[in-house]
Amino acid sequence: MFQKLSLLIFIFGITNTLQTPTDFKTEQLKHKRVKEAYQEKGADIKQLLKKNDIDSLSLFIRGFKAEETLELWGKNTYNEHYKLLTSYKVCWSPGNLGPKRKQGDYQVPEGFYIIDVFNPESKFHLSLGIDYPNSSDRILGSKQRLGGDIFIHGDCVSVGCIPITDECIKELYIFAVEAKQNGQLNIPVHLFPTRLTDEFITNYNYEDYMTYNHTSFWKNIKKGYDYFETHKTLPNITISDDGTYLFN
């Protein structure tokens, strides 16, 4: 009888755990900085989402090095097209135009990533990590040391990350928490050297920018840039054996 009772308790415990998943937002709000961010920015974010008729948030982040701009796009999960919600000034840009290829090159990555870390206790107030190096970076980059720990964060210092000040990261962090709480498992982050217009590709002279010739790589990622510019939806992205991005 005791064994049967123990088994029932064990099964009930497993079932109860499966039916009550961890509330991501609740866990984040246990951290002082996240709680303060909601107190300071929560009402404004709620109003911005209401203005854009968004009640079931899905996010997309797009960054441009030359323009020192990080764009935040949003939509309802049941809609197809994204709307530009706001943009943030990147307050410090290390390195040059071009992808990150090794540890210590001070470069901000270029390519297609997702948010894979929420850090509510960051040295730079709050931070959101991107999944550099991705499969393309591992093929095209250094075989010895690729580096890592690339974050969008607060403050205004960086050796390869994307700082947008404490005030702005509070807002962006809340948006990301809300999207994940709403069920968005992967928040896409697309990072470009600049707005990849035909004019830029045609007229680009790498010597003027004191960097290497990345034209072939930029022509590749331009296909993803053009797709979103045209459709305001995200392409399906895969990576070939040679590190090239493929777009559906």
Say how far residue 207 (Cα) sits from the centre of its chain: 30
How far apart CA 129 and CA 148 sit, in angstroms, is 10
CA distances from 183 to 48, 132, 180, 209 (A): 20, 23, 5, 41
Specify whether 125 is catalytic. no
Q: Please identify which residue in the block is written with the tokens 């079932």.
A: 15
* Identity of residue 137: D
Out of 31, 156, 161, 168, the active site residue is 161
Specify whether 161 is catalytic. yes
Write the Ramachandran bin of 137: left for phi over 0, alpha for psi from -120 to 50, otherwise beta. Answer: alpha
How far apart CA 168 and CA 220 sit, in angstroms, is 31
Question: Where do the H-state alpha helices sit in the chain?
Answer: 2-19, 24-28, 32-51, 135-140, 166-181, 198-203, 215-231
How far apart CA 187 and CA 129 sit, in angstroms, is 11
Out of 125, 153, 190, 214, the active site residue is 153
What is the crossing angle of helices 32-51 and 166-181, to 10°?
Answer: 70
Q: Please identify which residue in the block is written with the tokens 């707005």.
A: 195
Catalytic (active-site) positions: 153, 161
